[in-house]
Structure 1
Amino acid sequence: MPLLNAFDLLTAASDSAPSAVTVLFGDDPMLRSWTLRKLLGLDAAEEDRPDSIDLDGELAEWKDVRDELQTGSLFSMGQPRSIVVRDADKFVSKYRAELEAYVAKPSSAGLLLLELKSFPGNTRLYKAINKTHLLVQCAIPTGSGRSTKPDLNKLKSFLCGFVAARHQCKLQKGAAETLVELSGTSLGLLDTDIAKLAVCVERGAPVTDDMVRKFVGGWRSKTTWEIIDAATEGNSGEALRQLDHLIASGEKAFALLPQISWSLRRLGLAAAAIDYAEKSGRRISLSDALQQAGFRPFDMKKAEAHLRKIGRPRAQRMLGWLLDADLKLKGTHSTDDRARWVLEELFLKMAS
């Protein structure tokens, strides 16, 4: 079977069923959870099914999993039951040879579902499952060609369709754009935000851009602006205190950087517009530069104050700082604790 993306499986009109061997892999736990529930045929109110068994991949032994797969169910009316191995990365690594043999000749009494964070495509096991069974990639689809960046247009469409329908509301396109700008690309966080918005409207009523800014942005946006205010004024201590407040409330540094970068990048672009105009022998007003950088009229006054506080030398270096922070989060500082250091370093640079 060809590799499926979870977005396609979840938005398909028809029901989906697992194969004799099914692998769900990807770094988004919410997407893996939704995909697994659909494959098991669980509705919103069901936690599990009597003919399915959950096993912990950190503890599971192959002999026990094999026994479960070969044991019929008293509740399934002759249908195979589902054996789900969660967090199965360690399990797959440990029992790769046994799994390769099983994939070639699976049991008819049970369906094996493996949930993993990663599943390299150059392994024999991957190729064998992809050929005759079911592989579902639980990650935001990427752009065309060899791009590794998430396709934000597909993400927004998925939010307006599948996720909004989960909460019985209608998410407008502009609202989805603002939601991604404020909250990043974590589907768990985006789902929570849409759940909050659904409570604020009548069932089936539209959720607008203004509502996202008011109800989702709320204290999160306020605190993000307070961080930027403190850093641009040279008060790194206050910026770090507000960062600690956000992280203690459950926010992840990975989700915070896109929110903070959204504003800071436009300040850097405004400074670049001024530099370019001057090198071209032209003069450009600060408000025109901010407008070119993408600031909206209601943001203009605050953005102008921020740019003046930052000062031209630091504003000119802003795009480089943000690029450096983004590369570190995707490389050497990809863990939660190291990701926090990246933000702290950025605030200290802004305050210096």
Structure 2
Amino acid sequence: MDALQFLSAKDAKRHPVYALVGDEDFLKRHARERIISIAIGDEDPSFAVSASGGDRLDFSTARNELETLPFLAPCRVLIVDAADKFVTENRQALEAYAAKPSAVGVLVLDVKTFPENTKLAKALPDGAKIVCKAPPEYKIGAWCVEWAKTAHKKKLATEAAELLVERVGTSMGLLDQELGKLANAVGAKPVISADDVDTLVGRSKAADVFRIMDAIGDGKPAQALSILQELFAEGEDPMAVIGPLTAQLRKLATVGRLMVVEKLPMGSAMDAANVPKWEKARVNCEKQLKHLGGPRLLKLPDWLVEINYGLKGGNPLPERVQVERLIVMLARPREDVKK
């Protein structure tokens, strides 16, 4: 079961064994809280909930704890953190336990992976296997809108959500923190607007990369290279720079192909490429499209393949030099591009 579905379910039932699978700590934290709530209700968790690292826990100790009814609570919850090693070393014992679990215990296994073809995975119902992975990037904005409503009691405008993701990135934990700050900052206002986000949310390192694209769109190659050098001087890794840069360039390449090859209007092409509808995002995208021009837009996919291959060891040049070369190709005036 997807973690977001689990968190929103109204009638989730208690299971004796849960597996929290994936690498999104924000979802795992909230899934844990939901499991504890399902297991012990409003009782004090200090009497009934314990956690142990999977690298130092033996199964007999875990079993004894799960068999012990806690004081003033209907059951005991044992959370095994980083449980991949624990599961591997105790797979047969866990399979036997899942077949005949304690009536007063809830075991929560926090793992990175949990292959569905194992006997243990097959022994657990779907509702006990909680997949804690972040939604794809194109769905993060919609999640922000829903989370702002359910967790922070505020309506988040669609344009504000798009800008928030652009500023903060796709980390759900960081987005939740910023939404909490925004909800407090706007006070009694029922809606968080794009202007609120623009005023109150600082730029992340990833968002700084978009300043490079803005400078390119404004026809300021020296400024684009200066921003890049600032990021490198602050210790930013070239791979961390190329990630958000690549994401934006792919959108531009898609818009360019739709406009040049399929003759779609610019607005329709932007919609199809999932360019945020916030006015500033659209204006900046249009500037970048006009600066690059059709020939360069059609070359972008090849350039992106080349830079990604080069940064993974396929080019003997230093990584910084490779990124700088890409920025120069993007930033130079259109009349310098060979047709």
Q: CA deviation at 1:189?
A: 2.3
Corresponding residue of 1:71: 68
1:34 to 30, 35, 40: 30
Q: CA deviation at 1:126?
A: 0.3
1:257 aligned onto 2:254: no
Identical-residue share of aligned pairs (%): 27
List per-residue Cα deviations over 1:196-254 (Å, max 9, x = no partner).
32232114621123323343364668722333367882765751532564859xxx949
Corresponding residue of 1:147: none
Whether the 8 Å contact between 1:30 and 1:187 is mirrored in structure 2 is yes
Structure 1: distance between partners of 2:267 and 2:145: 30
Instruction: Describe the shift of the 1:91–1:219 C-alpha distance in structure 2 as closer, same or farther (beyond 3 A).
Output: closer
Corresponding residue of 2:79: 84
Unaligned runs of 5+ in 1: 142-149, 334-340
Code of the aligned partner of 1:98: A
SS in 1 for 2:187: coil
Q: CA deviation at 1:116?
A: 1.3
Q: Mapping of 1:179-194 within 5 angstroms? A: 179-194=164-179
1:233 aligned onto 2:221: yes
1:139 to 133, 137, 147: 133
Corresponding residue of 2:159: 174
Q: CA deviation at 1:23?
A: 1.2
Structure 2: distance between partners of 1:292 and 1:134: 42
Instruction: Describe the shift of the 1:64–1:247 C-alpha distance in structure 2 as closer, same or farther (beyond 3 A).
Output: farther
Whether the 8 Å contact between 1:226 and 1:242 is mirrored in structure 2 is no
Structure 2: distance between partners of 1:152 and 1:230: 25
Structure 2: distance between partners of 1:322 and 1:179: 26
Unaligned runs of 5+ in 2: 330-339
1:160 to 145, 155, 165: 145
With the length of structure 1 as denominator, give the TM-score of the two structures: 0.70
Whether the 8 Å contact between 2:169 and 2:207 is mirrored in structure 1 is no
List per-residue Cα deviations over 1:35-72 (Å, max 9, x = no partner).
111111299xx995321111111222222212211222
Structure 2: distance between partners of 1:40 and 1:344: 51
Whether the 8 Å contact between 2:47 and 2:71 is mirrored in structure 1 is no
Q: What CA RMSD, in Å, does the superposition of the two structures yield over aligned residues? A: 4.3
Corresponding residue of 1:103: 98
Runs of 4+ in 1 over 6 A off after TM superposition: 294-297, 323-329, 341-344
Structure 1: distance between partners of 2:44 and 2:291: 53
Corresponding residue of 1:51: 48
SS in 1 for 2:78: strand
Q: CA deviation at 1:167?
A: 2.7
Structure 2: distance between partners of 1:66 and 1:344: 56
Q: CA deviation at 1:170?
A: 2.1
Code of the aligned partner of 1:136: I
Code of the aligned partner of 1:189: L
With the length of structure 2 as denominator, give the TM-score of the two structures: 0.72
Code of the aligned partner of 2:230: R
Q: CA deviation at 1:347?
A: 4.8
Structure 2: distance between partners of 1:52 and 1:139: 24
Instruction: Describe the shift of the 1:342–1:63 C-alpha distance in structure 2 as closer, same or farther (beyond 3 A).
Output: farther
Q: CA deviation at 1:28?
A: 0.9
SS in 1 for 2:212: helix
Structure 2: distance between partners of 1:192 and 1:128: 37
Q: CA deviation at 1:20?
A: 1.0
Structure 1: distance between partners of 2:96 and 2:248: 53
SS in 1 for 2:52: strand
Instruction: Describe the shift of the 1:12–1:182 C-alpha distance in structure 2 as closer, same or farther (beyond 3 A).
Output: same
Whether the 8 Å contact between 1:290 and 1:303 is mirrored in structure 2 is no
Whether the 8 Å contact between 1:257 and 1:343 is mirrored in structure 2 is no
Instruction: Describe the shift of the 1:60–1:222 C-alpha distance in structure 2 as closer, same or farther (beyond 3 A).
Output: closer
Greater displacement, 25-34 / 55-64 = 55-64
Instruction: Describe the shift of the 1:325–1:136 C-alpha distance in structure 2 as closer, same or farther (beyond 3 A).
Output: farther
